[in-house]
Amino acid sequence: MIARIWHGVVLESKGARYLELLQRTGVKDIRATEGNRGVYVLRRVEGGRAHFLFLSLWESMAAIKKFAGEDVDKAFYYPEDKDFLLELEPTVSHYEVAVKP
């Protein structure tokens, strides 16, 4: 199993609305992608900013490509993201899941 991790930051005042957007877009689309094994969205508020870690679990890199396209290391953004995010981080990270619950 492979974990795909993305990080994004929004102003704290936009955090709740951005979480709603994530649920309507990325969470929904990833859950509907064949080969997805789960999605977690983590949030931490600090210094007036809300940090989000978007963790998705996948059965293989081929499954990730079904969602992200050929360049799996490139971050995937929806048009609305630019209205919230302070920066569009260009890449994501992938990790092999070494221990499962």
pLDDT at 87 over 90: yes
Distance separating alpha carbons of residues 86 and 15, to the nearest angstrom: 12
pLDDT band at 101 (very low <50, low <70, confident <90, very high): confident
Residue-range domain boundaries for the chain: 2-92
pLDDT at 82 over 90: yes
pLDDT at 100 over 90: no
As assigned by CATH, the class of the 2-92 domain is: alpha beta
Q: What is the pLDDT of residue 41?
A: 98
Tens digit of each residue's pLDDT (9 = 90 or more) over 25-42: 999 999 999 999 999 999
Share of the chain above pLDDT 90, in %: 98
